[in-house]
Amino acid sequence: MDPRRNPRSVIDPKVRHVGFLPPDRSLSTPSPDSHPSDDDDAALSPVIIPPPRHHSDNLSSPSSASHPVPPLAHHSPRYSEFSPRSPAASSPLSVVGSRLAADGEKETGGAGGSVRVLASSVPLSALTTASVVGVSRGITETVKGCVVEVQNEQPAILKPVKAKTTKAERRALQEAQRAAKAAAKVDATVDSNQSKSAKLSQQKNDPSSVISLDKKGHSSDRPPEKERKKDAPHPRMQYDDTSRVEKAKRKAVVKQTEVRNRVELFRHLPQYERGSQLPDLETKFFHLDPLHPAVYKVGLQYLSGDICGGNARCIAMLKAFQEFIGEKIMMADKVIVNHAVTKIRDGDVLLTYGSSSVVEMLILHAHELRKKFRVVMVDSRPKLEGQHLLRRLVREGISCTYTNINAISYIMHEVTRVFLGASAVLSNGTVYSRVGTACVAMVAHAFRVPVLVCCEAYKFHERVQLDSICCNELGDPDMISTIPDRKEIDGLNNWSNVDNLQFLNLIYDATPCDYVSMIITDYGMVPPTSVPVIVREYRGEHMWG
Amino acid sequence: MPDVQSLVNEFILKLKKRKIEGSQATARQTAVLLRSVISQQRIPYTSQAAALIDAVRAVGEQLIAANPIELAVGNIVRRVLHIIREEDLSLTTAAIEGLNVSSVSDDDGDTDKDDTPGLSAAALAAAARSTLRPPSLQTLLEDLPDSSAIPHTSSSGGDSDGKSKSADKSTRSRKLKHDVIEAINELIQDIDTCHDQIAEQAVEHIHHNEVILTLGSSKTVLEFLCAAKEKKRSFRVFVAEGAPRYQGHLLAKELVARGLQTTLITDSAVFAMISRVNMVIVGAHVVMANGGVIAPVGLNMVALAAQRHAVPFVVLAGCHKLCPLYPHNPEVLLNELRSPSELLDFGEFSDCMDFGYGTGTPLLHVVNPTFDYVPPKLVSLFITETGGHDPSYMYRLIADYYSADDLVLQRKVASVK
């Protein structure tokens, strides 16, 4: 056991896989380069970074690099204990970029779960725009992880004996520190403990310790909104004003490397960055909301200049979204329906509330499969969405019973299953859906009827919510005061302006998770308690999946 | 009694056509009708109470059959029967005491009185038998013969006794009717003032800055809330509209007119809002003997939500709503389905009405029940004129207001002699 390893570090599954080091030496390589054991210093010094190559080349390159091999070989046994461990273990911390070369070859393209290491010296090639897109799932997983891994390992690896760095290296170091400081500030509260322990374990007061803070920041779950707010520089930035430039640099998502010779006339514009911004983006974006691979691909194509021209870009973006729809909604719905029809038996009486597209597909599909069942449609004011679904179902020849939500206690004794749709499922298992869903689920629960929620996985969210008050949406109050269908009721048509009278038209409500028996998603049929697990495990992977 | 019969028929017609709205109005009209029946009823000198009871029962059966769902009718019929029995019992005990006194004091009196000790025993027995004793095995076995025997013995006793007995009896019969009618007047007055008596208790239960939730519309709830408002309690009310009758709109109008802060919500939003509600106050249609409530549709959902959030569920009910029967499958047997047109527009859905493959039965059913059953475990408190009670106490109130004999109002089929 490495005594210097921090035992209490946060293990974010995103960082389970050790992957590439970012190619941009100005950002993160200096840290691992300078902080692994003294033997590794030379191996990971920035100057060794080879020019961009294809991923497969990367794996072999470490062996070609003379420097890394001996020290790495020396160190691999030290870290080998961590290699077979499952991703969930705390080993990633100590899995170092230094493992890279030695283990890189044996971990090529494995399935998720194995710790994959790629040489620190190779990442750049893998991260070029075109190649990344085509990279296998495994590799791309690791990229994310690697970046963090490498930074993770700093506290673990003590003895930050600095090799003799060149001026360029020192400068790169400073850049990295600045970036790390920015990240550290964002996550100061979350990571203070870890960073402290990390600092303690480190004996060097190398500024790269700041980078460990950076690592910590990345590894924990950062509130994406906060980060985004701080990271994006104001579009109309004033580049002349140095103080503002400094401020923006600290907050910037895209790290601007300093350009030595810039035209003063154009100093108000962002300067050209050689190479890709990708590593910087990746170090930060990987921890923002995950992107669908199609969208990511388009972004990279923009970046590299593969797609140019306004029309072409717009079309490419919309096509990427269409792909997302196809994959995450249409296909997901098919998968959900396939799972859910297994839960419908002959003789069932299904109850559904309102109008959910997935539930409608499910019922029609079950009917196609010649299952014998009937449907109870529960509807409520003011939207009366159930009437539309009712019409469609009756047209298909499905026997339906229609009732108002007040009558669910009356009708529930003859119901065998309840199928509901959802707008979102939150991380504490709460189902956020059309108002009235909670009432239906509650009464079903009281009558011991199973409640199955059909929901695509893209609707899962990290947020938690306990009741329907904190977060909701209000609709038109006039829909409540008037009763359009029933003219004979002298409602409160002209009473909108009366002082003491208010109308409340809630759109959504939150169903507690103990009323829900099962959630049927494209990942399978899971209990509501598994939702945060799916959000955590699969959010990142869906980026590559 | 043709005019009484016509009154009865008229009332039955109104009940059948569901013309009378609300259990209070129904109860009041039933009581008034029964009062007329009793006052017009010619009763024999002997066993007046039994005669009255038979008459009321006959009318009561018809009324109940006209609208079985309106249990207030049956409640009032049983109340009246109970009143008759009670009044008779009190009169008889008074008479017996009077006889005792008279027999003791007139020991050395005239010839009439000479017979009294002996006759008084027979008279006592006759009097005792003519009152309605609680059922015992003996009475059950000699039911029919008993009723026929009484007149003979009493008549034989009366013959020997002379006019005094008959005079006593006629005064007694007149007194019985009089007392019964007085008691029924009291009952009618109780029915009229039940709202006020319940509303007096509002101040104890509603405090400052409370949020009250209610569904549909109930006059009792309206009076209750306004009474609290008058006592300067400031609170706000969420009214759920109570589809498909939308009576919540009416209640909201009334509350706003009286100056209460009101918010109208849909029934589907009840679960969402109830976490911020301090108390749910609702009216009832009928309260059953086990403490269960037959309430407007949707209240079971509200009661479940209130239980989930530990919000007290308070039911306001006048005594005329208290029914001595126990509910068996109340959702189905004590419920009424209303017209589907309240839910679906027939015109819009006319195309759906005809679909029917094979069997020819329509594919579309519309269910529109009027009432919901709330089990006693979901009710926190009943507030009646006599005060607040737990649901488990309701059966005691029933013993106060009703007799066990009257639970089954159908005439017993005469057993084989």
The residue length of chain B stands at 417
Residues of chain B contacting residue A506, judged by C-beta atoms under 8 Å apart:
265-266, 269, 272-273
Measure CA B294 to chain center.
13
pLDDT for A405 beyond 90: yes
Question: Which of B246, B259, B308 faces A483 most closely, judged by CB atoms?
Answer: B246
Amino acid at site A461: H
User: Which of B272, B301, B308 has its CB closest to that of A409?
Assistant: B301
d(CA A259, CA A266): 12
Q: Which of A492, A504, A506 sits opposite B249 (nearest CB)?
A: A492
Least confident among A96-100, A484-488, A522-526: A96-100
Taking residue B139's Cβ as centre, other Cβ atoms within 10 Å add up to 13
Looking at mean pLDDT, say which of A61-70, A519-528, B85-94 comes out highest: A519-528
Confidence of residue A157 (pLDDT cuts 50, 70, 90): very low
**Which of A152, A148, A191 lies closest to A4 in space, CA to CA?**
A152
Rounded Cα distance, A329 and A318, in Å:
16
Helix (H, G, I), strand (E, B) or coil at B221: helix
Q: Could you tell me which residues are beta bridge partners of residue A521?
A: A524
Are B198 and B385 within 8 A, CB to CB? Answer: yes
CA distance A413 to chain B (A): 10
Name residues whose C-beta falls within 8 Å of residue A342's C-beta, 6 or more positions apart in sequence.
none
With a CB-CB cutoff of 8 Å, which residues 372-401 of chain A face chain B?
379-382, 387, 390-391, 394-395, 397-401
Query: For residue A253, what pLDDT is reported?
Result: 59
The reported pLDDT for the residue numbered A184 is 64
Amino acid identity, residue A390?
Answer: L
Helix A167-186, helix A188-201: angle, nearest 10: 130
Q: How confident is the model at residue A176 (pLDDT cuts 50, 70, 90)?
A: confident
Question: Which of A32-36, A491-495, B69-73 has the largest mean confidence?
Answer: B69-73
Residue A270: DSSP 8-state? P
Instruction: Please indicate whether residue B161 or residue B174 has the higher confidence score (pLDDT).
Output: B174
| Helix and strand counts by DSSP (H, E) for chain B | 16, 11
pLDDT of A45 over the 80 cut: no
**Residues of chain A found within 8 Å of residue B272, distances taken between Cβ atoms:** 435, 438, 467-469, 472, 506, 509-510
In terms of phi and psi (left: phi > 0; alpha: psi -120 to 50; beta: otherwise), the region of B308 is alpha
For residue B244, give every residue at least 6 positions away whose Cβ sits within 8 Å of its Cβ, in sequence order, or none: A404, A406, A486, B338, B342, B343, B368
Check if the beta carbon of residue A454 is closer than 8 Å to that of residue A358: yes
Q: Using CB atoms, which residue from B260, B344, B372 is nearest to A410?
A: B372
Cβ atoms within 10 Å of A331's Cβ, excluding its own: 13
- On whether the CB atoms of residues A508 and A435 are closer than 8 A, the answer is yes
Does B364 contact A at CB distance below 8 Å?
yes
Phi, psi of A524 (to 5 degrees): 125, -170
Angle at A361 between CA A356 and CA A365, to 5 degrees: 150
Of A382, A408, A483, the CB nearest to B301: A408
The arithmetic mean of pLDDT across residues B163-177, rounded, is 65
Residue A124 in contact with residue A51, Cβ under 8 Å? yes
User: Residue A172: helix, strand or coil by DSSP?
Assistant: helix
- Contacts with B, A 424-463, CB within 8 Å: 435-436, 438-439, 442-443, 446
Closest of B322, B390, B393, B384 to residue B193, by C-alpha: B384
d(CA A292, CA B80): 77
Q: What is the pLDDT of residues A204-251, one digit of tens each?
A: 444 444 443 444 434 444 444 444 444 455 556 666 677 877 777 677
* pLDDT surpassing 90 at residue B209: yes
Question: What is the overall mean pLDDT for chain A?
Answer: 68
- State whether residue B233 sits within 8 Å of chain A by CB: no
Whole-angstrom distance, CA of residue B384 vs CA of residue A55: 82
Do residues A129 and A276 touch, judged by C-beta distance below 8 A?
yes
d(CA A128, CA A138): 17
Nearest to A394 among B264, B276, B355 (CB): B355
Contact A63, A101 (CB under 8 A): yes
Count Cβ atoms within 10 A of the Cβ of residue A463 and give its class: 0-12 exposed, 13-18 middle, 19 or more buried: middle
Q: What is the pLDDT of residue A354?
A: 92
* Helices A209-219/A188-201 angle, 10° precision: 140
Residue A243 has a pLDDT of: 81
| Residue B214, beta-bridge partner list | B239
Residue/partner pairs of A315-324 with CB below 8 Å, 24 or more apart: A319/A294, A320/A292, A320/A294, A320/A295, A321/A294, A321/A295, A323/A292, A323/A294, A324/A292, A324/A294, A324/A295
CB A141 within 8 A of CB A112: yes
Q: Cβ of B308 under 8 Å from any chain A Cβ?
A: yes
pLDDT confidence of residue B290: 93
- pLDDT tens digits along B313-327: 999 999 999 999 898
Measured distance CA(A379)–CA(B266) in Å, rounded: 12
Burial class (CB in 10 A: 0-12, 13-18, 19+), A498: middle
CB-CB under 8 Å, A390 with B352: yes
- Which pLDDT score is estimated for A174? 80
pLDDT digits (tens, 9 = 90+) for A322-354: 988 888 889 999 999 999 999 999 999 999 999
Q: What φ, ψ does residue B135 adopt, rounded to 5°?
A: -65, 130
Burial of B408: CB neighbours in 10 Å, binned 0-12, 13-18, 19+: exposed
* Cα separations in angstroms, A283 against A219, B53, B250: 11, 92, 61
Testing the interface with A: which of B211, B266, B267, B309 to mutate, by most A Cβ within 10 A? B266
Residue type, A537: E
pLDDT band of A115, cuts 50, 70, 90: very low
Highest averaged pLDDT of the listed ranges A88-92, A160-164, A207-211, B395-399: B395-399
Q: Check: CB of residue B315 under 8 Å from CB of residue B283.
A: yes
Report the alpha-carbon distance of residue A232 to residue A251 in Å, rounded: 7
Segment (H or E) for A434:
strand A431-434
- The set of residues, in sequence order, having a beta carbon less than 8 Å from that of A409 and lying 6+ positions away, is A443, B297, B300, B301, B331, B372, B373
Please identify which residue in the block is written with the tokens 């009940």. Answer: B15
Q: Does the CA dihedral A308-A311-A313-A316 come out positive or negative?
A: negative
CA separation (Å) from B217 to A380, A482, B256, B271, B343? 19, 17, 13, 19, 19
What is the pLDDT averaged over residues A432-445? 96
> Distance (Å, rounded) from C-alpha A246 to C-alpha A253?
13
Please enumerate in sequence order all residues whose Cβ is within 8 A of that of B272, keeping only pairs 6 or more positions apart, or say none.
Answer: A435, A438, A467, A468, A469, A472, A506, A509, A510
Task: Read off the pTM.
Answer: 0.67
Q: Compute the nearest-CA separation of B139 from chain A (Å).
A: 44
Question: Which helix (H) or strand (E) covers residue A402, if one does?
Answer: strand A400-404
Mutate one of A410, A478, A481, A515 to test the B interface: name it (highest B CB count within 10 A): A410
Distances (CA, A) of B339 to A397, A413, A467, B244, B369: 24, 21, 36, 10, 9
Are residues A442 and B246, on separate chains, in Cβ contact within 8 Å? no
Verify whether the Cβ–Cβ distance A403 to B343 is below 8 Å: yes
Secondary structure class of A401 (helix, strand, coil): strand
pLDDT over 70 at A77, yes or no: no
Which of A243, A478, A258, A284 lies closest to A382, judged by CA? Answer: A478
* pLDDT classification of B134: cutoffs 50, 70, 90: low
Does residue A12 surpass a pLDDT of 50? no
Q: Which residues partner with A421 through β-bridges? A: A454
pLDDT over 50 at A522, yes or no: yes
Mean pLDDT value across chain B: 83
β pairing state of A373-379 and A400-404: parallel
| pLDDT value at residue B137 | 77
Beta-bridge partner residues of B365:
A401
Q: What is the pLDDT of residue B19?
A: 86
Helices (H), A157-208: 167-186, 188-201
- The residue length of chain A stands at 545
pLDDT of residue B378: 96
A491 touches chain B (CB under 8 A): yes
